[in-house]
Structure 1
Amino acid sequence: MGNENTGALAGDPQAAKQSFLYLFLTIFVPFGLGHFVSYLFRTVNALIYVDLEHELHLPASSLGLLTGVYFLTFAAAQIPLGVMLDRYGPRSVQAPMLLFAVLGSLIFSFAHSEMGLIMGRGLIGLGVAGSLMSAIKACTIWLPVERLPLTTACLLSVGGLGAMASTTPLHELMRWITWREAFLILALLTLAVCLIIHISVPRTYKPKPTTLAEMSAAVAALYSSWVFWRLALYSVFAHAIYMSVLSLWMGPWLKDVGRVGEAGMASTLLWGTVAMVAGSLAFGSITDYLRRFGVQPIMVCGTGVAIFIGFQILMISGLPVAPLLIAMGFSFFGTSTTMNYAIVAQSVPPELAGRVSSSFNLVVFVLAFALQWLMGEILNAWPSTGPGHSAIAYQWTLGCMIALQIPGMLLWLSFKPWKLRRD
């Protein structure tokens, strides 16, 4: 599609909504690539943690802090990010922010101290903080609101491909390069995505006239709303634990409890990310299909979360279940937690979508940072067995995480989500 056709479609919202090629070029390719890079950075430490541990002699608590600082800076960016997305549009926000991730990846690559790694990881988290929110904002601009769960699921599946790239493909690549060289390659990849977004996405976003102060006040009102918190709290702990485990602790659990070797761990993580992609597409498709019969998206999301908790129980049960099956089930049903992005975004007009999505994202990522660090602290509280941790240490750690998710399930039941919606 040439520039003239793109401009014509951008000037006619109805034509834009009817053009798959337009949507593919302006949303799924540029913003999908941004989310791909974000997930690649988020999960890469689950594979390279052994190299970091050996080269820099980092304990579990330091690994948890190092990996979790990504979530902390990611979270810190969410409120200003939401305001800027609604004020300036996804293109003008996402492309410049990715430059911080480029800088962070370079610093991480050359760092020789824990502080240097934390600084680089923090800049990476800041740089990719807008990846999914920019994509969701773009969807609310150009897509019918009722299709938001499906399109969000498709974008999340692209993120799953990024997580997939951080497993066996990266493991094979690191036979030839070091983890430092891998981060140099990631810096170049991120720069390329930044340029694609800058060049490809139309400059047609026209926000409603309002001041930044007024937009910020709307965020404060949002956080004082019980409706927002009810929609957030039923799944937020499950979502944060899903990210915390997949971005770091799934690898150590496979090695220490599942007795999976290094090559087998990379392969298992790869199949887990395949399940993640399949889960995103499955939950999005199921939600989109069932809406025709009045089934609420929150019903699909909460049911998936309940099964997700079941797989966490399997991780600590000691039952003779294959680690591969557990990792795939954890990854597949964990994607149900991400459906709440669309549920929250659907609850407000499109001009508020950036702020409400990023406000929800802030809660998720603050929790992900805290819980990833907390899991490392709990693991450290138990005597180490050789180079890893004992099964009982993981039982207590994951058991505490499961306990945090139970109130959310009780809140979800109070919604009576099984009642059909009458449109």
Structure 2
Amino acid sequence: MTVAQTILPRLADPAHLDRRTGAIVFLAFAAAYFCSALVRAITATLSPVLTQEFTLHARDLGLLAGGYFFGFAAIQLPLGKWLDKHGPKHVILWFLSLAVLGCLAFSMASSFTWLLAARVLVGMGVGACLMAPLTGYRRWFDASTLLRANSWMLMTGSLGMLASTLPVQWLLPLTGWRALFWILAAMILLAMVAIVWLVPAWQANTKPRAGATDVEAAAASGSYSEIWKNRYFRKMVPLAFFNYAGLVAMQTLWAGPWLIKVSGYTPLEAATGLFCINAAMLVTFWSWGMANPWLAARGWSTDRLVTWGAPVSMVLLAANILGGSSTGWQGWAVFCMATSVMGLMQPAVGMAFRSSLAGRALSAYNLAIFAGVFVVQWGIGLLIDAFTDIGFAQVASFQAAMGVYLCCCIASYAYFVSVKADNSPQ
């Protein structure tokens, strides 16, 4: 009897998974999320070669990186309905097929428009790589395990981003950037095989029971009305759009150009710096996974951690901006590590809703994050070019653009602390 035959009969939509089975399912999803993070962050390392080959401006580079997040954000609302209806296994497989096609299209691009279209397709294709497992974990894991699994999924993402730095830089002279995307397509296909083999099926009741409440009927109908009405959800959205999105924007794009154009790094030095940043994030998310159950047991809720942690991240961002050319990878690593507290908000939002609404709640929240990443990535590029056009020096243009972003973070935090709401399930 094979491993699959041993595992799969027990995985017919279980209420909870035992530790061994849960670990196997986690690893299958983690393989797909690793690929998602790798392809997400690879533009930071490839920015010098893409800029040279396609004659890109800062705004073009920001749009190209942001195109991934535009595609990602565009599918989040239908994704939430499909996850609740069809379950994570089937939905993630449908979407990963698009990611494979997008990687192949990107490898054959002959113009910026073609690059951008392929990048959007890739973003759509990997749009379920975190939401699908988190939807499953909401049903299959208890609360403390859910928090740990979320942090360790983000740790897996950091590992993917780590792979997008020095390993990609080392492979470039051997394969060229186009062949790298054939390799990525093959890796995604292997992850799909693991999901087919190891992840449980999903049985969802899409019809409201007789005498169901309006809330239950809305959940069964696929409506997002209960999500948008939730005060806790609305409280978290600005932080997701600016603060959390900014972490992703820096980690996956703007830390690279800053190191080269502001700090004076060579492309190899910048790739090494990005490697160190992502290694620091990997350790950080692993640590959150270990610490979360202990913190929760001692009254350190997500809201309390964010209330104290967000100001620290904004102070560090301000220090990086003021440091200018003296801010190296260490400054951006510390900023990203401090901002990682925002990663705890995702499972907290999921726990604010019943499991029948989890897919929609998580996907709607993810929409806020990745719409924010698109806006922040492209917006910073537009601002850098705009400040340069009015006579700012290159370093000053980067500083001014980041200063505008910092003001947005401060405003979103002020809204967060002004709204009194918790994540008690409704």
Is TM (by shorter chain) over 0.5?
yes
Asked if the contact 1:379–1:393 (Cα under 8 Å) also holds between the matched residues in 2, the reply is yes
Indicate the residue corresponding to 1:223 in structure 2.
228
1:8 positional shift: 5.2
Paired residue secondary structure (1:178): helix
Q: Report the more deviating stretch, 303-312 or 356-365.
A: 303-312
Relative to structure 1, is the Cα distance of residues 383 and 231 closer, same or farther in structure 2, using a 3 angstrom cutoff? closer
Shift of 1:413: 3.1
Q: Which residue of 2 aligns with 1:196?
A: 194
Q: CA deviation at 1:288?
A: 1.8
Q: 1:389 to 1:99 in 2, by over 3 A?
A: farther
For residue 126 of structure 1, what is the aligned residue in structure 2?
124
Q: What is the aligned partner in structure 2 of residue 2 from structure 1?
A: 3
**Alpha-carbon distance in 1 for matches of 2:83, 2:180:** 31
Q: Does 1:207 align with 2:212?
A: no
- Cα distance in 2 between the residues matched to 1:73 and 1:186: 18
**Deviation (angstroms), 1:226:** 3.0
Correspondence for 1:411: 415
Aligned match of 2:212:
none
- Residue in structure 1 matched with residue 265 of structure 2 by the alignment: 260
Residues in 1 aligned to 2:186 and 2:284: alpha-carbon distance in whole angstroms:
30
Q: In structure 2, what residue type is equivalent to 1:187? A: A
Residue correspondence of structure 1 range 342-353 to structure 2 within 5 A? 342-353=347-358
> 2: CA distance between counterparts of 1:227 and 1:125?
28
Which residue matches 2:395?
391
Q: 2 CA distance for matches of 1:275 and 1:206?
A: 39
Contact 1:140 1:353 in 2 (8 A): yes
The answer to whether the 8 Å contact 2:207/2:221 transfers is no
Distance 1:75 1:316 in 2: 28
Whole-angstrom distance in 2 between the partners of 1:169 and 1:191: 20
**Contact conserved, 2:239 with 2:413, CA < 8 A, in 1?**
yes
1:8-407 equivalent positions in 2, closer than 5 A: 9-10=10-11, 13=14, 17=17, 19-26=18-25, 28-203=26-201, 205-210=202-207, 215=220, 217-318=222-323, 323-383=328-388, 390-407=394-411
Match of 1:210, as an amino acid? K
Give the Cα–Cα distance (whole angstroms) in 1 for the partners of residues 164 and 13 of structure 2: 40
Q: Which amino acid aligns with 1:25?
A: I
User: Contact 2:206 / 2:221 at 8 angstroms: preserved in 1?
Assistant: no
Shift, 1:217, TM fit: 5.0
Q: Deviations over 1:395-417 (max 9, x none)?
A: 11100000001122223433689
Q: Structure 1 residues 11 and 127, CA, compared in 2 at 3 Å: closer, same or farther?
A: closer
The verdict on how the C-alpha distance between 1:324 and 1:79 changes in structure 2, with shifts beyond 3 A counting, is same
Question: Secondary structure of the residue that 1:129 maps to in structure 2?
Answer: coil
User: Alpha carbons of 1:11 and 1:249: their partners in 2 closer, same or farther (altered >3 Å)?
Assistant: closer
Q: 1:301 to 1:375 in 2, by over 3 A?
A: same
Deviation, 1:11, is 5.3
TM-score by length of 2: 0.91
Q: Distance in 2 between matches of 1:401 and 1:62?
A: 19
What stretches of structure 1 of length at least 5 have no aligned partner?
Answer: none
* Structure 2 unmatched ranges of 5 or more: 209-216
C-alpha displacement of 1:13: 4.2
In structure 2, C-alpha distance between the alignment counterparts of 1:41 and 1:189, rounded to whole Å = 11
Distance in 2, matches of 1:213 and 1:249, equals 41
Q: How does the TM-score come out when normalised to structure 1? A: 0.91
CA displacement, residues 263-296 of structure 1 (integer Å, 9 cap, x when unaligned): 1111110010011112212233333211112221
Matched letter for residue 135 of structure 1: P
CA distance in 2, matches of 1:93, 1:4: 22
Q: 1:261 to 1:332 in 2, by over 3 A?
A: same
Aligned residues of 1:69 and 1:121 also touching (Cα < 8 A):
yes
Work out whether residues 95 and 195 of structure 1, in 8 Å CA contact, stay in contact via their aligned partners in 2.
no
Shift in Å, 1:372: 1.1
**1:308-336 deviations in Å (ceiling 9; x for gaps):** 22221122112786513112112212322
1:73 touches 1:126 (CA, 8 Å); kept in 2?
Answer: yes
Q: Distance in 1 between matches of 2:14 and 2:65?
A: 41
Q: Give the 3 Å change call, closer, same or farther, for CA 43–242 of structure 1 in structure 2.
A: same
Distance 2:334 2:23 in 1: 30
Deviation at 1:300, TM superposition (A): 1.6
Shift, 1:341, TM fit: 0.6
Question: For each residue in 1:9-36, what CA deviation from the matched residue of structure 2 results, as whole angstroms up to 9, or x when unmatched?
Answer: 435947x53x32211111x211111111
User: Aligned partners of 1:382, 1:228: CA distance in 2, in Å?
Assistant: 35
Structure 1 counterpart of 2:360, one-letter code: R
Amino acid at match of 1:369: F
- Structure 2 residue matching 1:175: 3-state secondary structure: helix
8 Å contact 1:75–1:361 — kept in the other structure?
A: yes
Deviation readout 1:318-374 (Å, 9 max, x if unpaired): 278651311211221232212111110111111211110000011111121122111
Alignment size in residue pairs: 413
CA contact (8 A) 1:287 1:297 kept: no
Instruction: Provide the C-alpha distance between the structure 1 equivalents of 2:414 and 2:354, rounded to a whole number of angstroms.
Output: 29
Report if aligned partners of 2:41, 2:161 keep a CA contact under 8 Å in 1. Answer: yes
